[in-house]
Chain A
Amino acid sequence: MTDAVDDARRRYIAELPAFLTAADGIKEHLEAVARLAGIHAEIDSRAKTVSSFIKKLQLKGAQYEDPWLGITDKLGARMIVETLPDLMKARSILEDENRSPFVVKGVQDKSADADTSILYYPGVHIQVIVPGATTSDHEPIECEVQLRTKAQDLWSVPSHKLVYKPVLDPSRESRRRIMRLSVLVEIFDEEVERAMAEVTSMPGYEEARLLAVAESQFFAFVSDPGEQELSFEVFTRLRPVIESLSSNDYERLLEEFVQSHRSKLQTAYEHYGADSEFASEWSYWLVSQPESIVIWHLVTDAPMMLAGAVAGTDLETSVRELFAIWGSAFPDIA
């Protein structure tokens, strides 16, 4: 072991607590990126164990001019998203200096770099500096963020064990067998992306998605699903208002609203909802519909836009009742 390699080993052992703290920090930052992108992501992070760091030093330490700097994955994080479009959303935020919480040191994307005839690791590695995390001598701590779809991750785990870090060197055939599976991953992700594009461009898709978002909160208060046809009509009118509040993560906004108004919503549904005397009153039909929870959110956060969207339509009378129940007045729309 050279002096430089041994210095790196000693230094890593001494600095490990800072890397463990940084591992927690980067996880929180990546969760914030997922929220900003409006996507679901499984995120984990880890500082290399001392034994893993030493193994890597033994294998590759001699190749580096400075082994401490050469090993860039002392801290690693994995962000597993569902689809390729989700991956692109997360990546675009990570690489956007105005929106990313990180300073990006480098991006490795073999799908962009590799020759078309070559099989390659499907996934993106982004080297970032963890905000506020430093070693004891104030060196910024970097992290290798692996960004993958679920399908890419499915392929990566066995390939890591069998090809990248095997107990025994695999044969050429075994290596080829694993590598060619990456093509299935590529096909899978691209077909899912294409199917999603087809489905989301179907008429009524956005309304159906909003209804699903509303129902996911509404059913915590009411078990009756309401009339779907009415919901679609209401959401067609409300969609521009909802999209002006959040273009990609209305689910989170609604969830936050429900969390902070749970007791008031409970009372409103009990007194005016499907199981109340008001159920048979035409002016109150909206209270029995899942979209009522969205309307109460808009009464709170965007009353002017909501009133502008429904004033003069058949919905106005019913929406006025929701304003009144909530303790608010329907804006005087000219």
Chain B
Amino acid sequence: MPDFGSLVVDSVIMHELPHGRAASEVDHGVTLTEAAIEFGGTDKGFLESRLREGLGGFARTVIEDVDEDSPTPEMIRGFFRSHHDPLQVVVDHSRQLAIALRCLQAPVTPMSLFLLARSTIEGQEAVVIAKLDHEQAMRVEPTTTSEGLLTYRAQHLRDLVLGQATQVFKVAAFLTSEVPEVGLLSGHVVDTQRGQGGIADYFLRFLGCQFILEPRVLTQRFFELSQKVIRTVSKDDPETQAAYEIGLLAEMQSLARTISPEGFAQRVLKPEHQDTFMSDIRANGLPARRITKDTELISNEIRRVKVQTARDATILVPPSMYEDGSLKIESIDQGRSRVTIEDEVRSITGASGSKKP
């Protein structure tokens, strides 16, 4: 993943998209602007910090989806390869893309702004495409009443974008090195997907891209990576390891449709292990905040807690037995632990195991 903290915006153009979907490209209804934005004061720096935060915190890698009939990939190629005036290219391309997006967005989509920014990321040319939803807020200014008394005038504002509390919005970045002349382009898109068929899927279709990893693969990677980190950080602490493993199984078995790695780290891991966990999550390209959960590939591995001992004893226990205290793992001394199971014994049978060497 590129360092989005290095993002510098060169020129930006915005077009206003009315609410809902356009009936056709001819009747698009987009208020098309004709020139790049003129920045003053802290404007450009503020926009850059918001884009950096969104991309750096939540972007996932996407690849061109040849099954999607979107003009965007070809436009992005043209953007990098064009020999015309770069500013005019930004204007022309952004107008066409804004219209394409209006034709694809959901019928319930509120009024928003389409943004295209010619930028650099890690020193290389890049194009950033974003859709900024309007936010509401209130402006209060001191004033005086007709009687001359000091008071405040309150004004309801409806046309704000990129407020400080807005971390996730629809934004994509394409770097020139990831857009080959021949072959599929790749890029980075902030994951606003709220499950399959979610309301924001149209943004991905508009980009003509798909996420490299499907939810079932992401879920499997999250599960396997979590187990690896748990084994590392709790290597000499069986009690902590048990608590973490149970927490992970509970996360995977819960009815929630998404997994939040950040939330899991906070709920299950001790503070001193949370950053190691999240660092590995990011290093492996997994989303920090939301993974659409699909346990198809790991269904067999998340049914029971497995306790394996040095002398080859194996204990399989439902997670609920740990949670209600029926399974206890206590450290005794010199790396040894005591495992206690409290339940009604139904049967004891012979079973296969690893062969003696």
Shortest A83–chain B CB gap in Å is 30
Residues 35-61 (chain B) with a chain A CB within 8 angstroms: 41-42, 45, 48-50, 52-58
- Interface presence of B312 (CB below 8 A): no
Q: How many A-B residue pairs have CB under 8 A?
A: 88
- Interface presence of A259 (CB below 8 A): no
CB contact under 8 A between A329 and B53, given known A271-B45, A317-B164, A334-B263: yes
- Interface presence of A272 (CB below 8 A): yes
Q: Which residue of B lies closest to A323 (CB)?
A: B53
Q: Which residue of A lies closest to B43 (CB)?
A: A277
CA distance A267 to B271 in the complex (A): 32
Shortest B14–chain A CB gap in Å is 20
- Interface presence of B177 (CB below 8 A): no
B54 touches A329 (CB 8 A): yes
- Interface presence of B201 (CB below 8 A): no
Shortest A158–chain B CB gap in Å is 50
- Interface presence of A325 (CB below 8 A): yes
A281 touches B42 (CB 8 A): yes
Shortest B263–chain A CB gap in Å is 7
Q: Please pick, from A272, A278, A328, the residue contacting B57 in the complex, using a CB distance under 8 A.
A: A328
- Interface presence of B258 (CB below 8 A): no
Shortest A328–chain B CB gap in Å is 5
A333 contacts across to B, CB distance below 8 A: 266
- Interface presence of B62 (CB below 8 A): no
Q: Please pick, from A276, A304, A327, the residue contacting B53 in the complex, using a CB distance under 8 A.
A: A327
Q: How many residues of A contact B (CB 8 A)?
A: 32
Shortest A184–chain B CB gap in Å is 45
B266 touches A320 (CB 8 A): no
- Interface presence of B265 (CB below 8 A): yes
Shortest A256–chain B CB gap in Å is 16
Residues 82-140 (chain A) with a chain B CB within 8 angstroms: none
Residues 63-108 (chain B) with a chain A CB within 8 angstroms: none
A332 touches B289 (CB 8 A): yes
B5 touches A328 (CB 8 A): yes
- Interface presence of A215 (CB below 8 A): no
Besides A264-B3, A327-B56, A330-B167, 9 other A-B contacts (C-beta < 8 A): A267-B6, A303-B275, A321-B49, A323-B53, A327-B5, A329-B288, A329-B289, A331-B262, A332-B263
Listed from nearest, the 10 A-B pairs whose CB atoms lie closest are A329-B57, A327-B5, A327-B56, A324-B53, A327-B52, A304-B274, A327-B4, A324-B49, A277-B42, A302-B275
